[in-house]
Amino acid sequence: MRTIVFTILFGCALHLEAARYSVQDLGLPSGYVFSKGTDLNDRGDVVGWVETKDNVSRGFVWSSGKMKLLNDDGWLESVASSINNKREVVGAFRIEGARHAFLYRSNRFDDLGQIDNFTRLGKPGNFVAGGAINDNSRIVTRLTIPDGNQRTAFWHAGDPAFFGVLDDGRICYGLAINNHDHIVGQVFDTNSYSRPFLWKDGEFVDLGSLGGKRASATEINDNGTVIGWALPTNAALREAHAFVWSEKDGIRDLGGLGGKTSRAYGLNNAGQIVGYSGTDSGGYAAFLYEDGQMTTLRDLLVGTRWKLITASAINNRGQIIASAIPPGGGQSRAVLLNPAELGRYVEATRPPLASTKLPDVGTVIPFNLSSFSRLDDGSFRLGFSGLVGAQYMIEVSTTLNTWERIGFAKRENGEFVFTDQNASRSKLCFYRAVLVLPPAGIIAR
């Protein structure tokens, strides 16, 4: 979910002293004992997953009080990770021995290809496969390619594209994308140390650290503000602190609610941030950060005994998706927090981007990268699977809106390969393979 135009009733903005929330339980389908919300759009639609007592998960979309489970033929499990204002959903499903990314739209599923061969989809607090989608129907995710390396994949209008590798060998994992197609995530070096990054029109921006060895960006809004988590100096992984970054102020520690850790996961265009923090009592609590102050969300609830543990996302109308323990106890479940003064949803109008037309459902091209590396001389070499007898043109882009054709791939040892001898060391580009001549008897779309 990303940007949208909205109206606050009575012309009143959401400020901390005025914000009061009611809790809306999303409910649990029969046979399920746990639920987790991962994202919501500006309409108030929520996505996430539910689990049985045997830890079998199913992705869901919740809208107007009704929950729809996401499942297709052959799926063993599924999770939904992101939703945009067009109600397009991305997520992941597990088949025997592999995880795949999917796009759900118009009540149909598109298989975007294999992410990796992991046998689990991801649990609360860990990486949740599936990626993020913006209002331009552009998807960013990370995947493991057959040579064992992980890469960032970008998908739009039926075609996948892939991040390059930095000239020092560092690899970027894209985790979130805004409506300007700016991507944030985590970049790893050869020592497994990581830092948050911003990719903007081909430029790689290292967002810095709080002094420790690990950090990651988790979200970016349409104003270019970035949030995430980072380790302070000499801190253990469980002692990360939430941060906010802006071009003007750089990286800033958000602190916490008395415990040793905090992480930020949700951000809207008004700059409101949600996440979780450790408390001085040794537990965890969901927080709202705005106007320079972090507040326990539970203190802002109206007449309820729900215990809010973490918050995953906040939309531009101030609605928050959170995980909470019910008043009677038990496992946590997804709840929607609605502000007392909830603005009316108004659909935004934007000029169309280049190549915004999506292919027909069921005709997408899945991720097909098999190898991708920067060579010692600075050039890029990529390999991918394709149709025998076909011709593929390699294209490169620093904007994701315009693409430059740079040459034909050739077939070697059962795969198509291409080496970009002119790969820029100052730009981090996306590459994609376009079918220009199909094999005899096959019609190109």
CATH code at 429? Answer: 2.60.40.10
Between 149-158, 200-209, 413-422, the lowest mean confidence (pLDDT) is in 149-158
Comparing 189 with 200, which gets the higher pLDDT? 200
Mean pLDDT of the region 65-91? 96
Name the residue with tokens 């300007």.
Answer: 180
Higher pLDDT pick, 329 / 156: 329
**pLDDT tens by residue, 128-161:** 678 999 999 999 988 777 666 777 888 886 678 8
Q: Does 168 reside within a domain?
A: yes
Please count the structural domains in the chain. Answer: 2
As a whole number, the mean pLDDT across the chain is: 86
Is 445 among the domain residues? Answer: no
Cα–Cα distance measured from residue 357 to residue 199, given in angstroms and rounded to the nearest whole number: 24
**Is residue 28 assigned to a domain?**
yes
pLDDT band at residue 365 using 50, 70 and 90 as cut-offs: low
Say whether both 75 and 224 belong to one domain.
Answer: yes
pLDDT at 262 over 50: yes
Residue 126 has pLDDT above 50, yes or no: no
Give the residue-averaged pLDDT of 89-116: 89
* pLDDT of 9 above 50: no
Pairing of strands 241-246, 250-255: antiparallel
pTM above 0.75, yes or no: yes
| Structural domain containing residue 178 | 5-346
pLDDT number for residue 429: 86
CATH number at residue 144: 2.130.10.150
At residue 5, does pLDDT exceed 50? Answer: no
Over the range 88-120, which residues count as b (16 or more CB within 10 Å of their CB) and which as e?
bbbbbbbeeeebbbbbbbeeebbbbbbbbeeee
300-316: per-residue pLDDT in tens?
998 889 999 999 999 99
Query: Are the C-beta atoms of residues 273 and 254 closer than 8 Å to each other?
Result: yes
Same structural domain, 117 and 197: yes
Distance between CA atoms of residues 95 and 72, nearest Å: 10
Distant-in-sequence contacts of 407-415, Cβ < 8 A, 24+ apart: 409/384, 409/433, 411/386, 415/370, 415/371, 415/383, 415/384, 415/385, 415/386
pLDDT attached to residue 296: 97
Same domain? 186 vs 308 = yes
Residue 119 banded pLDDT, cuts 50, 70, 90 = low
For range 98-102, the mean pLDDT:
89
Rounded mean pLDDT of 264-273? 98
pLDDT at 356 over 50: no
Identify the residue with better confidence: 382 or 442: 382
Note whether 108 and 184 are same-domain residues: yes
Give the residue-averaged pLDDT of 104-116: 88
Q: Within a domain: residue 444?
A: no
**Assigned domain for 356 exists:** no
- Looking at the chain, the whole-number percentage of residues with pLDDT higher than 90 is 58
pLDDT for 4 beyond 50? no
